[in-house]
Copies of this chain bind each other. A is one copy, B any other.
Amino acid sequence: MFYSRFSMRRKPSQERSRQVVEALVEATAQTIAERGLAQTTTNHIAARAGVSVGSVYQYFGNKEELVGALLDKLVGDLGHAVDRGLPLLLEADLKTIVRGLLQAGFAFLGGNEKLYLELARNWDQLSTQRFLRTLERHLQEVFRLYALRHYRELHIANLPVAVFVVTNSMVFTILHYLSLPQAPCTREVLMDELTEMAAGYLQGSAAVAG
């Protein structure tokens, strides 16, 4: 499944152990959401998964691999979410698409905002980068497809850079918004403004080739 990236110390062959691995990854997510990444210890994770610390090291070489496995799972979820919502969107106009993507983004966060906030807090570690790169790849595909259908309206010289700018602006602004103790505006207003900015930029863009 999602434990392919990191060479596990031991590959679980019985059903029992496969469940332990799954429980450990799930417990990692819960513990990070609850206590923060820095305060998440291997003992906490093991306890929450209902196993002993030793079992962690039966399947994961170290703590980092555990978090890596969690990230792999989330990146997979992200891919599925985009693939599901994509076909419906492409018929609409640019503004509707952007709004739809933002809506989908918030939906993806679901109830796990604390987890994603904690992971975002530690962007810049390679693991989090992987998440953003995946998102960028998907969005590039969206806008590539959109450009094919509406080649008259859209003039983006440098699609990767445009997507980079838009993606990062959206993601980080939303994350920072969510992390604020008291919001400066409603979620709707934020989405309106972000849509305005992104759609306007993508529509009117005559990006210089880089």
Contacts and interface: CB of A to CB of B under 8 A. Distances in A.
B173 A169 contact: yes
Interface residues of A, number: 44
B184 A164 contact: yes
A39 to B, nearest CB: 13
A121 interface: yes
Contacts of A161: 184-185, 189-190, 193
A197 interface: yes
Nearest to A169: B169
A147 interface: no
Given A158-B185, A193-B161, A201-B200, A176 B123 contact: yes
How many protomers of this protein does the assembly include? 2
A43 B138 CA distance: 46
Contacts of A164: 173, 177, 184-185
Interface stretch (A71-79, A94-102, A103-111, A202-210): A202-210
Interface string A158-199: 101110111011101100110110001110111011101110
Contact of A189 (B123, B124, B166, B208): B208
A179 B123 CA distance: 10
A194 B201 CA distance: 9
A122 interface: yes
Contacts of A206: 196
A117 interface: yes
Contact of A124 (B121, B158, B197): B121
User: Nearest 7 CB-CB pairs, A to B?
Assistant: A172-B172, A169-B169, A189-B210, A185-B210, A197-B201, A168-B173, A161-B185
